[in-house]
Structure 1
Amino acid sequence: MIPVPRIIPTYAEVVAAGGNWPIAQINLPGIPRGAVILLFDQDGLGEQSVELMNGFAEQGYESLAADMTAVSPDLIDDDRVLEVLRSFVAQLEKRGWREEQIGIVGYGFGGRIALRAAADLDLGAAVSVSPDGVARGTDVRPALVDDARPVTTPWLGMFGADDEAAPIESVRLLAERLTDSSPAYTEVVTYPGVGDDFFRESAEALGHAAMFDSRQRVMEWLNLRVVPRQSPFAEIWSLKEAMSD
């Protein structure tokens, strides 16, 4: 079997909200399908982030991955984090991407940010994988279930049923509040028999199944909702069609 070529990201820092935020980027030649922002916490920009970025590249997505532990989550509130996220979006806009052509996928603390982004930004799609703070808040941020805001970006939330920090009843209540109030479509998936790390590789059958299924769902969610970039010829055709109407 011929190995798939592996793309090495470029690394930089984004200065925002009083901190320096390490990022990694994979830019693609030609006409990529879309762009995705990946928000990591405890895994940082290590091997898993590079693997996931390459997985998105195989599907035609450029990516910007960020280490959200550069500033302790206990010291920065949601509004400041959104300021950081807007800086990441601006970084992709330099590549010609519009908001509806950008998806966001967050893990842990990054998953919390992805949900807030779905309420405050008009992106193509948002995914929260095992988001932090579902049932319990901190000194600087409320619990998600108590601060559920209507989302304008289609949002997918994925949880492990055995995650003690995200009790099933709290997840159900969060889903109800988002569904009832949001103009955009929302969906919640809960995986049985796994905890908060279900998205990582596991030798256990349920863990492996949850990891595989969650990755497939992320890609399908983006493919259905992130607006693809048109080729120059397609843009000319669309302009001609609009002028003829």
Structure 2
Amino acid sequence: MTEIRTETFPLTDGSELRLTVAEPETAVRGGLVVLHEARGVTDAVRGLVSSLAQEGWLAVVPHLYHRDGADELDAADGDDRVRDQVNRLSGESVLADTDASFVWLAERGVRDDQMGVVGYGLGGSVAMVVAASRSLGAAVTIGGGGILSPVSEGLPSLVDVAGELTCPWLGIYTEADPSIPHEDVEKLREAAAAAGVATDVVRYPAPVDPAEDDAKAAADAWQRTLNWFDSHLR
């Protein structure tokens, strides 16, 4: 079974970023920064990191809530508590944390063009912001909200940054999520197409979360994600 561990990485402001990492037992194909969901570094996120490592990717999760001393929100915390935590994020903070994660990968021999970023939900939204702000090899957004209105007051909307994508980007969405309308996804598709890099948007009728009952859609979305990184991180 793939070992998952958490370590710290010093930031320029004197604080320490917590990182959850998983290393392949075979040769490393490249490195992926995995951005966590709104509730933090949950079991689902750790499972994703482990699965990526099993596919040969050196995977690292920056704990984006570390400035508030949080890793994972308690199961008893309601939606208001989650929204408050998400709203504490800013473009400056998430870029500082992802930059540190890319440095961590580089220190382990991963080249810039072998680095990618991926996330579900909140993490998917942040992944696109990172891909529009930094030079890397590829990015995947899975169910990321904030398309027309930002998920946080300190972050941009996705349509505002889509045209600035610096790398191939794949967006995966589901019709089963009423919070992300079809019209919004189509606007994001159009905005991303103007970026001048390879982009694709796939929309499934069923949920794509591996925890959901419809395993077929989730499995197909997972394979598309792997194929995207296989094609663009070489």
Question: TM-score category by the smaller chain?
Answer: 0.7 to 0.9
- Give the percent of matched residue pairs that are identical in Structure 1 and Structure 2: 26
Q: What is the number of equivalent residue pairs in this alignment?
A: 215
Q: What are the equivalent positions in structure 2 for 1:113-152 lying under 5 Å apart?
A: 113-137=126-150, 138-152=152-166
Query: TM-score, normalised to structure 2's length?
Result: 0.82
Corresponding residue for residue 220 of structure 1: 227
- From 54, 58, 77, give the equivalent of 1:58: 54
Corresponding residue for residue 163 of structure 1: 177
Post-superposition shift, 1:212? 0.8
The structure having more radius of gyration, on CA atoms, is 1
Q: Deviations over 1:159-182 (max 9, x none)?
A: 111323321111101110110x21
Moved more, 20-29 or 157-166: 20-29
Post-superposition shift, 1:193? 4.0
Post-superposition shift, 1:16? 4.2
Post-superposition shift, 1:15? 4.7
Q: 1:39 to 1:165 in 2, by over 3 A?
A: same
* 1:95 aligns to 2:127 (yes or no): no
Q: Deviations over 1:109-146 (max 9, x none)?
A: 21111111221222111001111211322432342224
| Contact 1:36 1:103 survives alignment (8 Å) | yes
Q: 1:151 to 1:49 in 2, by over 3 A?
A: same
Q: Which amino acid aligns with 2:139?
A: A
| Contact 2:175 2:206 survives alignment (8 Å) | yes
Describe the SS at the equivalent of 1:135: coil
- The unaligned stretches of length 5 or more in structure 2 are 69-84
User: Please, what is the CA RMSD of the aligned residues?
Assistant: 2.2
| Contact 1:44 1:66 survives alignment (8 Å) | no
Describe the SS at the equivalent of 1:184: coil
Describe the SS at the equivalent of 1:120: coil
The separation in 1 between residues aligned to 2:41 and 2:158, in whole angstroms, is 26
* 1:186 aligns to 2:199 (yes or no): yes
Corresponding residue for residue 125 of structure 2: 112
| Contact 1:8 1:50 survives alignment (8 Å) | no
| Contact 1:136 1:165 survives alignment (8 Å) | no
Q: What are the equivalent positions in structure 2 for 1:61-80 lying under 5 Å apart?
A: 61-70=57-66, 71=68, 72-80=85-93
The separation in 1 between residues aligned to 2:112 and 2:93, in whole angstroms, is 20
| Contact 1:199 1:215 survives alignment (8 Å) | no
Query: TM-score, normalised to structure 1's length?
Result: 0.79
The separation in 2 between residues aligned to 1:28 and 1:141, in whole angstroms, is 33
The separation in 2 between residues aligned to 1:114 and 1:57, in whole angstroms, is 19
Moved more, 60-69 or 88-97: 60-69
Q: Which amino acid aligns with 2:230?
A: N
| Contact 1:68 1:109 survives alignment (8 Å) | no
Corresponding residue for residue 172 of structure 1: 186
Post-superposition shift, 1:152? 1.5
Q: Deviations over 1:19-60 (max 9, x none)?
A: 654321123466311111111124533432332223222221
Q: Deviations over 1:167-209 (max 9, x none)?
A: 1111101110110x21210100111144xxx322222xxx322
Corresponding residue for residue 9 of structure 1: 4
